[in-house]
Structure 1
Amino acid sequence: MTASRSAPGLTWLNSSAESDARTALHEVCAARSWIGTVLARRPYAGTAALLAASDDATGALDADGLAEAMAGHPPIGRPEPGDATSAREQRGMAGAPEELKAEMLELNLAYQEKFGHVFLICATGLTAGQMRDAARSRLANSPEAEREIVRTELMKINRIRLSGLAEREPERA
């Protein structure tokens, strides 16, 4: 048996009640259609199959689904208080100089003004400067090009979060 097949969180996801699995998947991605697609393909033989289902579901998101998914993400540099996942993913901003944080806030606002949603980037492992540079660069994109970049970034985020879900020990009641 491979490690992914014995992943405790994956075993839980495969066997949990739909409402419990739905709640857990909502922590990964807020798009209802994504959650529905991932739920419908249970049970998963391994983490790779779960990630493939996620990629398919993310690729199939329409404009409303993408908007719903993005609404579940706080702006870069401003994770929701008490949201350990966003704080961990955005830790590259935590120690940034105040000037860079202020510039990121301005870039977030300009981005939201232009595209109508938060600047979404898979921030895991990126420095504050890399996130700032990406925001600067992506402001020049067309809405169509940016939508596909957002889809790719969302896919990366979903994969990281799902991998964590699959590997962690389920909480005992």
Structure 2
Amino acid sequence: MTNHPPASRPPAPDEAAGVLRALAAAPAAELETTLLEICSSPRWAAAVASARPWSDRAALLAANATAMAALTAPDLADAMAGHARIGKPKAGDATSEREQAGIQGVDSTLLADLQEANDAYEAKFGHVFLICATGRTAATMLASLRERFPNDAATEAEIVRGELRKINDIRINRLLDESPV
């Protein structure tokens, strides 16, 4: 995802509306690039783009929810492919590092436990453990991983879908709040 500089202040409502209008008016290829930075599923990006113009922030977030609900298993795999393993944010990727800030400075034993639980999860489900890590500590992410491990594949896929929607909502809001018009 593009590394946007942190906002020095919350945007005025008209600034976010300006960003929304600019997104809605962007050429298809440019919009696709921006949307794929939010979620790496091409089907999701196409579905959200096809809902434009969005009347407001809520309409764009609703397009995210609708697109997420329609993703197939392969589409979910595409979306998950854009996410770093919990406990190992992508080096140099400000979005990954920000979203997994809860693992910074944690004890090596906790990181080892997280890695072991990730290994077991990935062996069982065939993909990374996905959780909306924003605002979570390493310990709470590990607890969630262990709590979800007994799930069957269908249950876990629906949880992943919900977590992806939350992540996308955060990324969309950040884009609207921090992008220059």
Q: TM-score, normalized by length of structure 1?
A: 0.93
Q: Distance in 2 between matches of 1:109 and 1:4?
A: 46
User: Residue 141 of structure 2 corresponds to which residue in structure 1?
Assistant: 131
Residue of 95, 120, 131 corresponding to 1:121: 131
1:145 counterpart = 2:155: yes
State the one-letter code of the partner of 2:50: A
Summarize the alignment of residues 2-151 of structure 1 with structure 2, pairs less than 5 Å apart.
3=13, 6-151=16-161
State the one-letter code of the partner of 1:15: A
Cα displacement string for residues 5-42 of structure 1 (whole angstroms, at most 9, x for unaligned residues)? 84343122111111111111111101111000011111
- Structure 2 portions without partners, runs of 5+: 1-11
Residues 44 and 71 in structure 2, CA contact (< 8 A), matched pair in contact too: yes
Residues 16 and 176 in structure 2, CA contact (< 8 A), matched pair in contact too: no
- Structure 1 portions without partners, runs of 5+: none
The Cα RMSD (Å) is: 1.5
Number of equivalences: 170
Between 3-12 and 32-41, report the one with greater CA deviation: 3-12
Residues 89 and 123 in structure 1, CA contact (< 8 A), matched pair in contact too: yes
Residues 74 and 80 in structure 1, CA contact (< 8 A), matched pair in contact too: yes
User: Residue 5 of structure 2 corresponds to which residue in structure 1?
Assistant: none
Residues 13 and 166 in structure 1, CA contact (< 8 A), matched pair in contact too: no
Aligned identity (percent) is 46
Q: CA deviation at 1:113?
A: 0.5
Cα displacement string for residues 49-93 of structure 1 (whole angstroms, at most 9, x for unaligned residues)? 000000000010000100110011010111111110010010001
